[in-house]
Structure formats: structure tokens, C-alpha cells
Amino acid sequence: MEAVLELKNVSFSTQGREIVHNFSWTYREGKTAALVGPSGGGKSTALKLSAGLLVPSHGEVVFRGRNIAAMNRKENLEFRREGAVVFQDSALWANQSISQILELPLQVHYPQMTARERTERIRETLITVGYRKELSIRPAMLSMGEQKLVAFARALMCQPRLLFLDEWTESLDDRSARRLIGLVQARKALGHTIIFVSHDLHIIQDLADLALVITSGELFMVLAGDQIKKDGDLGRFLEKGGAP
């Protein structure tokens, strides 16, 4: 399988504290990887480093042979169009309407699209994720679960082949969670690459081809195949809250 993303001896520090230490891994085309571990252990930071949202203090993150930190504007736009992020807190702009939030990625990455085409893409995507409220309202008028649906729709807007998902089913009711899990499964079947953070063992077992167990900012172990499907090491690890 072709390498999509490579983290090479990546470390990240902030405010004098190292959160990720000497992390190396290669994400392969069409594979789904779960980042698991204790709260505060570095998995969300590792996800953001992989997505190019944080610049490593040391090491480099390489997307299809190109160091993300050294990309020019055109290369960076190509990377952002192919990869999309769903944040744990949704990260919707408070001063914009739902319509404006969803339209922006299309304006940036597909400037040739007409207003009518953008409206249709937004409508189709919202139907897909199950959002049913008005587009003129702002995020503050939505529940946390509804905000997560909008965030997921935003991530799908440019039809990416690389998805970064951070606790993406939190705050959702069972029906909405199942819908989004189904959408991820459909993209997995299409050969898209998915990297996600989750504490939910069932989601990890259903979706992940491998699980990267991260604790104290380091890659502690890697589980794949039958190791994930069984309740063994991974189940015990999650039950203990990430203690080795």
C-alpha cells in the first residue's frame, strides 16, 4: 500500500511541556487507523500533527513525499482539499451562519463552482449526515450533537479521500452516531484513508484496520487484525484508562 502520511520522529511541545515525543508512523492508502489512549496522553495532538494543524517542534510530517511544513500555497491547498478534519468540539465559527460555514470550503477549493452548485452540494451533504434545521442560524442555536453533524458535513464538503476524526461520535444520539459510522464505513469501502480518535471499543473494532496505542505522548503499541477484534489487550487497556 502506498504511503499517504509519514510522521518521522515527531515531537511537539507547548508551554515548556512535551506532549508528543519521537512519534514515527506511516499511514497507508485505504487503511483506517484508530489513535487510542488515556485522556491527555497525546492522541489528539498526534492527530492534529498528522493533519498539519500543528507544526512539530522536532521531526517532520510528510504527505505523499512532501513535508507539510515546507509546502507552498498551491501544495498546501491541495493537501487541505484532499484531507478534512472533524474536531472534538466541532470548531464552528460562532459569527457565521451554518450556510456560510459550509460554503467557505467550496469557495476556497472550488472557486469555479456557481452559487447554485454550492447550494446543491450543501443540501445533498446535509441530507447525508441527517441535519434538518435551518441554514440561516448560527451554531449557538444548535445542540452539541447538531453542531457535530454540521462539522461532519463541512468535512465532507470537498469530498476528501483523507479524513481526520477526533471523538467524532461524542454528543450524538445513537441514531445519528450510527449514521456517521455508516458514512465512514462507506468511505472506507471506497478505499479512503481514515485516521480517528475514539474511546469507544465497539467503533474501534468495527472500523479500524489497526490501533495505535498512545500513552505519555509516545507510541506504546500497535494492534492490528484479530488483535483489535478480540477484547484482549486493547479492551484491557481502555478499561484501565490507558495504563500500560
pLDDT along the chain (244 residues), means of 10: 94 94 96 92 95 96 95 95 95 96 97 96 96 96 95 96 95 92 95 95 92 93 83 62 48
**pLDDT of the residue at 33:** 97
Whole-model pTM: value is 0.93
Backbone angles phi, psi at 242, to 5 degrees: 95, 10
3-state secondary structure of 27: strand
Stated length of the chain: 244
Task: Encode 172-241 in three state secondary structure.
Answer: CCHHHHHHHHHHHHHHHHCCCEEEEECCCHHHHHHHCCEEEEEECCEEEEEEECHHHHCCCHHHHHHHCC
pLDDT for 240: 56
As a whole number of angstroms, the distance between CA 50 and CA 59 comes to 12
What's the pLDDT tens digit per position in 124-150? Answer: 999 999 999 999 999 999 999 999 999
pLDDT of residue 24: 97
Quick one: cell of 209? Answer: 484496520
* Residue 113 to residue 99: CA distance in whole angstroms: 16
Tell me what pLDDT residue 90 has. 93
Report the side by side order of strands in the sheet with 17-28: 17-28, 3-14, 58-63, 66-67
Using a 10 angstrom Cβ sphere, with 0-12 exposed, 13-18 middle and 19 or more buried, the burial of residue 21 is middle
**pLDDT computed for residue 233 by the predictor:** 62
For 200, phi then psi, to 5°, come to -90, 110
What is the pLDDT at residue 171?
85
Measuring CA to CA, how many Å separate 224 from each of 34, 50, 89, 179? 10, 20, 28, 25
Residue 103: per-residue pLDDT: 97
How large is the angle between the packed helices 115-129 and 144-156, nearest 10 degrees?
130
pLDDT confidence of residue 225: 76
CATH label, 3-239, candidates 3.40.1170.60, 3.90.79.10, 3.30.70.20, 3.40.50.300? 3.40.50.300
The span from the first CA to the last CA of the chain, in angstroms, equals 30
